[in-house]
Chain A
Amino acid sequence: MPENPTRPATAAYLTARGFCLTSAAWMMMATLVGFIAALELVAPDLTANISWLLFSRLRPIHVNLVLFGFVTPGLLAGAFYFVPRLLRTELYSEKLGIVTVILWNMALVATMVTLAAGLTQGREYAEMIWPIDAGIVTAFCLIFFNFIMTVKHRNEKILYVSVWYALAAVALTTCTYCLGNVVWKPDSGSLTGIPDAILLWFYGHNVFGLLLTPLSAAAAYYIIPQVCRSPLYSHTLSLLGFWSLIVIYTHIGTHHLLQVPVPTWLKVVAIVDSIAMVIPVMAFLINIWYTARGKLGLIHGDIGGKFIFTGTIMYFIVSILGSLMALPDVQRVTHFNHWVVGHAHIGVLGFSGMIALGGLYFIIPRITGKPLFSLFLADLQYWMILIGVSGFAIVLTISGLIQGHAWLNGETVYRVLSEIHIYNIIRAALGLLIFLSAVSGFYNIFRSVFSNPGENP
């Protein structure tokens, strides 16, 4: 299905452009917040008594802005480009799309302001207060409506795998977002006791499983065959990967609660399915990697393809780690410490973040009809992120192992602080690298979208 783009229309793909800029701009804010928070782990009095710069308020801002400010809009930008293209039609309504982009940005500003002010529901990944939840759910509904109407008006009978993933991601996330944020209880946004923990981690894990992963897979399925100029390796594997992802990924949230008094049978379900995650992961990866077999030169020559292919390798690493971490014996060491933070950075920055950026760099020349403002800056950003995320993975895994083993050996949390100090310093330095990459990326993307044709060097 993927075809070479031919359409240069300047004003086209307004929604995709809007999400491109949203993603690039919020990537700066999200990584700046992460960087400041990392500095505070090294110098805790750095922002003393500035309440809205407390580490503990910055952390949820960082997490939510990365998830919903940088990565999701980046992946949605891609989807708003390739869904109409794959259906050989126009987006049902660019106007509605622009309204969605504006609503999305309003929700992000409100998220940042409320969390900085301490207005939070205190549940990881579901901190936002009810009015913001309502805004985000509305945005997801608008996106779903736009997509499904585009599908309805399509001129291509067959739906390509990227379209399945985009539709399912938006439809399923709308449901799990409402469920996970307990939207029927506007005051607290939570259940009570152990059921709250089970629901929270079901939702928390589905942010990755039903939103970031399917949208990332959609982008990879669309872009890798085009960059490689070859058809997708296997339709059967696409089917297997798609359905098994939805069946298996949704079962595993409780692997966050293996050391908590939740029903044992539920832990067994979570562990078994965490191992079974190998099925959707490898079905997707084999499909993509076999499509790219012998074509690595072409991938290396395309900045979008390069980001995305690297993202698939990160997906392999993060998934294998994830399955291992669900094993109770491994989790005795890795739970509650930096290992998990390292895992999260490989997943969200290395896998879905890399793929979101790859999507942006792939579609921008196609929606503007002219080359990127600077290929060099894009390549620089690629290397900064690759070095940064590999560095995160290394130092956080090391400090996580130090913490985990020391605690198992009877050392207190306080005693271990000085042992991981140096890794916190390296972590902050790498955070600066990622922030600078976001600044350079924003400049590049902004100039690419806004400079007039003919201005390019």
Chain B
Amino acid sequence: MKMTPAAVIAGSLLILAAVVMVVIILPYADTSKTIPSDLFRNRTQMEAKGRDLYISNGCVYCHTQSIRAIDWDLGAERIAEAGDYIKDHPILLGSQRTGPDLSQEGGEHPDDWHLAHFINPRSTRPLSIMPPFQFLNRDNISLLTRYVQGLGMKDADRRMERQTLWKQRAVEAYTSGVDQNVEWLHAHVPEGWRNLPTPYPATEAGLARGEKIYQDFCFGCHGPVGDGMGPAQPHIYPPPLNFTILKGRKISGGIIYYQIMNGITGTAMPYFKRELESEKIWDVGNYIAKYFIDQIDANTEPRGIDAAYEP
């Protein structure tokens, strides 16, 4: 083959044109027929402004918006569909999961959690490596929050309604005094859990594990001594629970376990069932009960048949 300048240039360009036809134009024709998915809705103006901030601050480099069938983490309840993205301009799928996927972040947390988290992510998530975004002023943080709270579209809206409803009730309970607040908190734990003591002993090793879990997950809001004065506290309302008030107020291992597992929707208390397996929740519950509440029911009756590992 004689490689003249014309052959090299015209040949390459013709190949490129043919390939563009196959891998760009044909798929464009194919995917431009995409219809909105069941949870699609248009973004509000504030959400659109928040999205601009999301783009200009490079959030896309660490957060994907692309839930796959193999995912377990945040958003895994809803696998992405082409119809979710039809107004995304540009599309923000992302290519690295340095932080969690945000496709369904909307309504996972209330707004005050996001405020504390944007100001310094380690305030709510002690091990986070996300940069602090305090330099964005409050207005911009709230725009960004609107965008994040809209991720998940109609599903996010349903979750936000739930957050708003329970936020209102949680604030009512908090403002009505300590006794009423604790009573209200306990009342929303299902009966069976309320009367359940921790079925496992608070061993030295278990308490050490509990301390580690506490520092990695709880410390930011509840503080190093469990008085609810962690670094996130100034931004969160109702404020993080002061564990020391629980003594003598019908607290049980089961209540602590249930609240950690399920979270308290409406407040900044997230659910941890995705991140902590059973033993870790019992361990951190024992740690809180022993050192902060000073009232521990570990290994008291009814505790069932002792597990094989118990001393």
B22 at the interface (CB under 8 A from A): yes
Q: A128–B46 Cα gap in the complex (Å)?
A: 25
**B93–A260 touching, CB < 8 Å:** yes
In whole angstroms, how far apart are the Cα atoms of A412 and B273 in the complex?
Answer: 11
CB 8 Å contact bits of B60-82 with A (1 = contact, 0 = none): 11101010111111100000111
A196 at the interface (CB under 8 A from B): yes
Q: Does B57 lie within 8 Å of A56, measured CB to CB?
A: yes
> In the assembly, what is the distance between CA of A41 and CA of B130, in Å?
8
Say yes or no: B16 contacts A176, CB within 8 Å.
Answer: yes
Would you list which residues of chain A between 237 and 279 have a CB under 8 Å from chain B? 239, 243, 246-247, 250-251, 253-254, 256-257, 259-263, 266, 269-270
Given A251-B22, A263-B30, do A122 and B131 touch, yes or no (CB 8 Å)? Answer: no
Q: For chain B residues 109-141, which have a beta carbon within 8 Å of chain A? A: 120-122, 125, 127-132, 134-135
B262 sits at the interface (CB 8 A): no
Of the residues A51, A261, A407, contact of B80 by C-beta under 8 Å: A261
Query: How far is it, in angstroms, between the C-alpha of A45 and the C-alpha of B122 when the chains are bound?
Result: 9
Are B5's CB and A45's CB within 8 A? Answer: no
**Cβ–Cβ contact A195 & B32, under 8 A:** yes
Interface positions, chain B 1-39, Cβ under 8 Å from A, are 1, 3-5, 8-9, 11-13, 15-16, 19-20, 22-24, 26-28, 30-32, 34
> Among the listed stretches B94-102, B171-179, B200-208, B236-244, which one makes contact with chain A, having 4 or more residues with CB under 8 Å of it?
B94-102
Query: Interface on chain A toward B: helix, strand, loop, or mixed SS?
Result: helix
Neighbour of A192 across the interface among B80, B88, B99, CB < 8 A: B88
Judged by a CB distance under 8 angstroms, whether A380 is at the interface is no
Once the chains bind, are A239 and B1 in contact (CB under 8 Å)?
Answer: yes
Determine which of B13, B80, B274 lies in contact with A172 in the assembled complex, contact meaning CB atoms within 8 Å: B13
Q: Which of B88, B90, B96 is A121 in contact with, Cβ under 8 Å?
A: B90
Give the distance to chain A from B94, nearest Cβ to Cβ, in Å: 8
**In the complex, chain A residues whose CB is within 8 Å of the CB of B32:** 195
Report if A422 contacts B (CB, 8 A): no
Cβ proximity bits A378-422 to B, threshold 8 Å, 1 near / 0 not: 000000000000000000000000010001101111110110000
- Could you say which of B5, B27, B89 contacts A159, with CB atoms under 8 Å apart? B5
Nearest CB to that of B275 among chain A residues? Answer: A412
The answer, yes or no, to whether A9 is at the interface (CB within 8 Å) is no
Distance, CA A341 to CA B12, complexed state (A): 30
In the assembled complex, A190 has its CB within 8 A of some CB on chain B: yes
Q: Mark A311-349, 1 if CB is under 8 A from B, else 0.
A: 000000000000000000000100111001100000000
Distance in angstroms between the alpha carbons of A255 and B216 in the assembled complex: 36
Q: Which of A40, A175, A418 contacts B131 (CB 8 A)?
A: A40
The verdict on B305 contacting chain A, using a C-beta distance below 8 Å, is no
Instruction: State how many angstroms separate the Cβ of B274 from the closest Cβ of chain A.
Output: 6
Cα A246 to Cα B96 in complex, Å, equals 28
Q: Interface size (B, Cβ < 8 Å)?
A: 75
Q: How far is the CA of A326 from the CA of B81 in the complex (A)?
A: 21
Counting chain A residues whose Cβ lies within 8 A of the other chain, the interface size class is 35 or more
A195-B28, A414-B275 known; A168 vs B131 contact (CB < 8 Å): no
The verdict on B85 contacting chain A, using a C-beta distance below 8 Å, is: yes
Given contacts A122-B92, A168-B8, A239-B1, contact A44 B129 (CB under 8 A): yes
B216–A171 contact, CB under 8 A?
A: no
- Chain B residues positioned under 8 Å from A417 (CB to CB): 127-129
B87 at the binding interface (Cβ < 8 Å): yes
Q: A51-B135, A164-B3 are in contact. Are A196 and B90 (CB under 8 A)?
A: yes
Contact flags A204-245 to B (C-beta < 8 A → 1, else 0)? 000000100000000000000000000000000001000100
Alpha-carbon gap, A108 to B177, bound state (A) = 61
Chain B residues with Cβ below 8 Å from A262 are 27, 31, 82
Q: Is A363 an interface residue (CB 8 A)?
A: no
Does residue B55 face the partner (Cβ distance < 8 Å to A)? yes
Q: Which of A253, A407, A414 contacts B71 (CB 8 A)?
A: A407
In contact, A412 and B91 (Cβ under 8 angstroms): no
Nearest Cβ on chain B to A391's Cβ, whole angstroms: 20
B56 within 8 Å of A (CB atoms) = yes
Tell me if B23 and A193 are in contact (CB < 8 A): no
A121–B56 CA distance with the chains assembled, in angstroms: 8
Q: Which B residue's beta carbon lies closest to that of A169?
A: B12
Q: Which residue of A lies closest to B10 (CB)?
A: A171
Instruction: State in angstroms the CA–CA spacing of A161 and B158 once bound together.
Output: 62
A171 and B9 form a contact (CB under 8 A): yes
Is B58's beta carbon under 8 Å from chain A? Answer: yes
Assess the B216–A120 pair: CB atoms within 8 A: no
Complex contact B27–A179 (CB within 8 A)? no
Given A159-B3, A336-B96, A340-B95, do A243 and B11 touch, yes or no (CB 8 Å)? yes
Q: Is A441 an interface residue (CB 8 A)?
A: no
Q: How far is the CB of A66 from chain B (nearest CB, A)?
A: 15
Interface centre among B93, B99, B134 (most CB of A within 10 A): B93
Q: Is B86 an interface residue (CB 8 A)?
A: yes
Contact B95 A192 (CB under 8 A): no
Distance in Å: Cβ of B127 to nearest Cβ of chain A: 5
Q: Considering the complex of A and B, which 3 residue pairs feature the smallest CB-CB distances, nearest first?
A: A56-B58, A190-B90, A122-B55
A-B contact pairs, 26 of them (CB 8 A): A48-B134, A51-B57, A122-B56, A122-B92, A159-B3, A167-B9, A171-B9, A179-B20, A188-B90, A191-B28, A193-B89, A194-B82, A194-B85, A195-B31, A196-B88, A198-B24, A261-B82, A263-B30, A263-B31, A269-B23, A336-B96, A412-B73, A413-B99, A414-B100, A418-B127, A418-B216
Give chain B's interface residues, CB within 8 Å of chain A.
1, 3-5, 8-9, 11-13, 15-16, 19-20, 22-24, 26-28, 30-32, 34, 55-62, 64, 66, 68-74, 80-82, 85-101, 120-122, 125, 127-132, 134-135, 216, 274-275
B-binding residues in A (CB < 8 A):
40-42, 44-45, 47-51, 54-57, 59-60, 118-124, 148, 151-152, 158-159, 161, 163-164, 167-168, 171-172, 175-176, 179, 188-200, 202, 210, 239, 243, 246-247, 250-251, 253-254, 256-257, 259-263, 266, 269-270, 332, 335-337, 340-341, 403, 407-408, 410-415, 417-418, 424
Q: A193-B82, A210-B16 are in contact. List 10 more A-B contacts (CB 8 A).
A: A41-B98, A44-B131, A55-B131, A175-B13, A194-B85, A196-B88, A197-B93, A259-B68, A266-B30, A337-B97
